[in-house]
Amino acid sequence: MFVIWVTGLTLLVLISHGIEASNHRQRSLESNPDEQPYRTGYHFQPSKNWMNDPNGPMYHNGVYHLFYQHNPYGPLWGNIAWGHSISPNLIDWIHLDLALTPTDPNSDINGCWSGSTTVLPGNKPAILYTGIDSQNRQVQNLATPKNLSDPFLREWTKSPLNPLMTPINGLNPDRFRDPSTAWRGPDNMWRVVVGAGIDGHALAVMYKSSDFVNWTRSVAPLHSSQKTAMWECPDFFPVGINGSDGDNSYLNGDQYEKKHALKVSFDSRDYYVLGQYSPETEEFKVETDFMDEGSDLRLDYGKFYASKSFYDSEKKRRVVWGWVNESESDADATKKGWSGLQSIPRSVVLSKSGSQLVEWPVEEIEKLRGYKVSLQNIELQGDLVIEISGITASQADVEVSFEVTELEEAESMNSSRVDPQMLCGETNANVRGKVGAFGLKVLASDDLTEQTSIFFRIFKTNNSEEKKKYVVLMCSDQSRSSLRDGLDKTTYGTFLDLDPLQEKITLRTLIDHSIVESFGGEGRSCITARVYPVLAINEGAHLYAFNNGTTSVKISNLNAWSMKNARIVSM
């Protein structure tokens, strides 16, 4: 039985055992963990086939919507359409029919690629998306709901005027895609940026419109770069230290004091810059630019790409998703029958220092927490591993804080000349140092022949141009994650903006069979990994805390929860 009440802005969805039984075939991949050990329990993914970029997430009339790039016919990229799912809480999802499919030779016959949603005056959502026309040009199109009285917005109508923006005046027709969410300035004109590449350098091309149909390209882009060749999936939004700062309305005048973030995707990574934006002059003054020496601001330092954010007007917060692709081969995807999943949605705010973004899993994920185990004030002597037992280690949420007092023993380094990812690879979890490695071993076999290690090391710097300070390195080591060959087992790493003299080192890790999302320093650095263990699956997975350094480390507090499955069904 499937019952829905819609009253004003409130949606209540009750899914009884009946609908779960009626959807057994659609959910067969999720419900057979022995045959599909890498299916996730609480991360969003379709029941089968290919998925990549999140598209047009929004909150509308009490319902969360997530659109996404989807191949409805197979587990590899191709035949790209817009999948569509809805949720009352960002965790439980109902799959609907496709929202957009390739139909029009003039605008999208060869694919409906990425884009965004914007809620227009009168509470009317609109989709701007990239279509691939019959000439294989990338063009920008508009779609609107067929029936605004439908609470789920299941059907969308394409504008007869499509395409609205075409690659002319020097724009490369192969590098002109992914329109952002639009914003309206104090002149009531709409603005939108599109990722582009011209003559070997990247741009966020700006367009303006008074009616959301007729768009004119601005003379200057919002931002550009001579160091990168193409930007995909641009995202532009205001951000402050409170969630309510993420609203991109410019009509009330309070946006001028906020910083803005421009996120772009290139080289399989999601980078961002911070700066000040003036809607009157269209000028965006960045603090540090993409690829500048010493600048490496990313939403995630692991496997996370093509992210898309939206402002959640219900909870007064900005929320971002990212596509997490596979680390297996196409042959593996074909055998499984699916490929790709979405990260847990994350809230985004500005750090108190104002120097970076901070991300944290949305609070709704905590409703899936089940049985809990806790540890306090545990001294981890050097070369010590302790098991955290009593929870489902293959599907868990773990929060831990470490305290290190003997920092004088830390090894020296010159942080300005070190690549943190390379350093993590060279000094992996099994290399013994002075202060570290210490952290968690997740999705580990009982004998530790398989393990994914999320860990920290602390170094001290004695650069001539600065006084001595301590540097925290955060790593996610997949080198021993699986006995299988032919997998991407990259070790990821970043420096964590945290002073261990002033605060404890915290780590939160979400474990879900084949995905490990880690948040260091209360979300100041995030690293996502995909792993495919052979032994450490289902009941064979274990969770450990460890210290492989010569200096003692204390676990001040550790809480770990078994995680229940989210309800992800088809209507």
Cα–Cα distance measured from residue 265 to residue 234, given in angstroms and rounded to the nearest whole number:
7
Fold entry, domain 372-570: Jelly Rolls (2.60.120)
Long-range contacts of 417-422 (CB under 8 A, 24+ apart): 420/473, 420/474, 420/475, 420/493, 420/494, 420/495, 421/301, 421/491, 421/492, 421/493, 421/494, 422/493
First and final CA of the chain: distance in angstroms?
A: 11
Q: Which of 34, 53, 178, 332 is catalytic?
A: 53
Q: List pLDDT tens digits, range 183-237.
A: 999 999 999 999 999 988 999 999 999 999 999 999 999 999 999 999 999 999 9
Cα–Cα dist 60/87, whole Å = 11
pLDDT tens-digit series, residues 503-540: 999 999 999 999 999 999 999 999 999 999 999 999 99
CATH number of 2-361: 2.115.10.20
Distance between CA 139 and CA 50 in Å, rounded?
A: 23
pLDDT at 295: 84
Q: What residue ranges in 230-383 does DSSP mark as E strands?
A: 232-239, 259-266, 269-278, 283-286, 305-312, 317-324, 338-339, 341-342, 346-350, 357-361, 369-380
pLDDT averaged over every residue in the chain: 91
Cα(519)–Cα(43) distance, rounded to whole angstroms?
16
Task: Say if pTM beats, i.e. exceeds, 0.85.
Answer: yes
The structural domains of the chain, with segments of one domain joined by +, span 2-361, 372-570
Output DSSP code: residue 21: H
Task: Using the structure block, give the residue that is written with the tokens 């196409």.
Answer: 330
Cα–Cα distance list, 108 to 136, 182, 204, 338 (Å): 9, 21, 22, 24
53 an active-site residue? yes
- Whether 284 and 312 have beta carbons less than 8 Å apart is answered as no
Q: For the chain, which ranges sit under pLDDT 70?
A: 1-34, 249-257, 415-416, 463-468
Token duo for residue 432: 């013994």
Rounded to whole angstroms, the Cα distance separating 292 from 153 reads: 43
Q: What's the DSSP call for residue 421? A: H
Q: Are 2-361 and 372-570 the same fold in CATH?
A: no
CB count within 10 Å of CB 148 equals 14
Structure-token match 């027709």, residue found: 173
The answer to whether 358 touches 377, Cβ cutoff 8 Å, is: no
**What one-character-per-residue DSSP string does 112-167 give?**
EEEEEEEEETTTEEEEEEEEE-TT--EEEEEEEES-TT-TT---EEE-TT--SB--
Per the structure block, which two tokens stand in for 262?
């421009």
Q: Give the model's pLDDT for residue 415.
A: 65
pLDDT of residue 571: 79
> How many angstroms separate the CA atoms of 55 and 82, rounded?
8
